[in-house]
Amino acid sequence: MNFASDNAAGVAPAILDALRGADAGFALGYGDDTVTRRVEATFSRVFERDVAVYLVTTGTAANALPLAQLSPPWGAVLCHRDAHITTSEAGAPEFFGGGLKLVPLDGADGKLDPAGLEAAFDSAEWGGPHHVTPSVVSLAQVTEAGTVYRPQEIAALAAFAHGHGMALHMDGARFGNAVAALGVTPAEASWKGGVDVLSFGATKGGAMAAEAVVFFDKTRTAGMAERRKRSGHLVSKHRFVAAQFEAFLADGLWLDLARHANAMAARLGAGLAAAGVAPVWPVEANIVFALLPRAVHERLTGAGASYYVRHRAGLDSGDSVLVRLVTSFATAEAEVERFIALARG
């Protein structure tokens, strides 16, 4: 019963196989290889557009690199107060970005909305030389609350961002879960709604260590190759990162894996609700937040369930525990059922 994180899962078999498959003979390093060439073409096909792709091995790098690219050091990146980039990356965007500023905003269900952006603009002074320059709106898809932006929500944020001279960045660590949930094309889930750069994660979706920074506008990439190299994120045996993505994207594997994870979360959320523990936020992808009575929490952990406890003032208390449950491609239905049964008591 491991619901700690989707990165607690292992690697999807097809991706492990692909590593072995990529291990044939010699290949130049640093991306000058045929696997990388192929996967770059695949990205363009998947997104129905000629894109520029930079592969790295961590989500933190996949987020921080484009933020540094899109914002000057005196820029501001507007994001949700709970966004991973501001809460859980130890200041990576600030480091990569030469001291840029993340501006945390409120928003229901873990989502930014135009009204919140408007209020941020309205409540402070912006722009040089004295004030930081708003440069990027960054949204996480899936959000940290487990919710999913609808295409029209993204489009509204994009309109605001672009209307105020800002770029729109999407932290897609769980982009696959979102696309699977929305039932739209990858293009519709990204650039067609106005996303300028997507940090497209494969690791949580089933890869070993593979994330892609996808620029939909190739004219914005000057310096990206240098940024990746000097931050230590240009992998030398690059074909093995590319191979992970190649398998991930082949035949819609990434969406199959995401659909399974989403289905497990839906089942878990429904089961908990039926057990009297309604999810705190809508279960729209592969994350369930629930407020467990303390006794239930203790029963579950006593039985070996693994998950993280969160704290939100005004939500949890001495009697109830706020828990985050994350499913993955590797989550077994039986484990979900066992968890629900234990929750039911």
The nearer residue to a copy of itself, 67 or 342, going by C-beta atoms, is 67
Torsion 164-169-170-171 (CA) sign: negative
Question: Which residue from 203, 199, 184 is spatially nearest to 5, judged by alpha carbons?
Answer: 203
**294: which residues sit within 8 A by CB, 6+ positions away?**
318, 319, 320, 321
> Stretches 149-157, 179-187, 189-197, 222-230: which one binds a copy of itself (CB under 8 A)?
222-230
- Over the window 180 to 219, marking each residue x when it contacts a copy of itself by CB under 8 A and - when it does not, the resulting string is -----------------------xx---xx----------
Binding positions for a copy of itself, 8-27, rule CB under 8 A: 8-11, 16, 19-20, 22-27
According to the binding rule CB under 8 A, does residue 39 interact with a copy of itself? no
According to the binding rule CB under 8 A, does residue 251 interact with a copy of itself? no
CB atoms within 10 A of CB 308: 12
Per-residue burial over 44-67, b if 16 or more Cβ lie within 10 Å, else e, is eebbebebbbbbbbbbbbbbbbbb
According to the binding rule CB under 8 A, does residue 334 interact with a copy of itself? no
Peptide bond into 142 cis (omega under 30): yes
Binding positions for a copy of itself, 80-139, rule CB under 8 A: 87-92, 94-102, 119, 122-125, 128-133
Binding positions for a copy of itself, 279-318, rule CB under 8 A: 306, 311-313
CA angle 101–102–108, rounded 5-degree value: 160
According to the binding rule CB under 8 A, does residue 172 interact with a copy of itself? no
> At 236, is the secondary structure helix, strand, or coil?
coil
> Stretches 179-187, 234-242, 256-264, 266-274: which one binds a copy of itself (CB under 8 A)?
234-242
First vs last Cα of the chain: how many Å apart? Answer: 16
How far apart are the C-alpha atoms of 40 and 215, rounded to whole Å? Answer: 12
According to the binding rule CB under 8 A, does residue 60 interact with a copy of itself? yes
According to the binding rule CB under 8 A, does residue 156 interact with a copy of itself? no
According to the binding rule CB under 8 A, does residue 325 interact with a copy of itself? no
The nearer residue to a copy of itself, 7 or 42, going by C-beta atoms, is 7
Question: Which residue from 65, 160, 75, 74 is spatially nearest to 112, judged by alpha carbons?
Answer: 160
Question: What is the size of the binding site for a copy of itself (CB under 8 A)?
Answer: 83
Smallest gap from Cβ 201 to a copy of itself, in A, equals 10
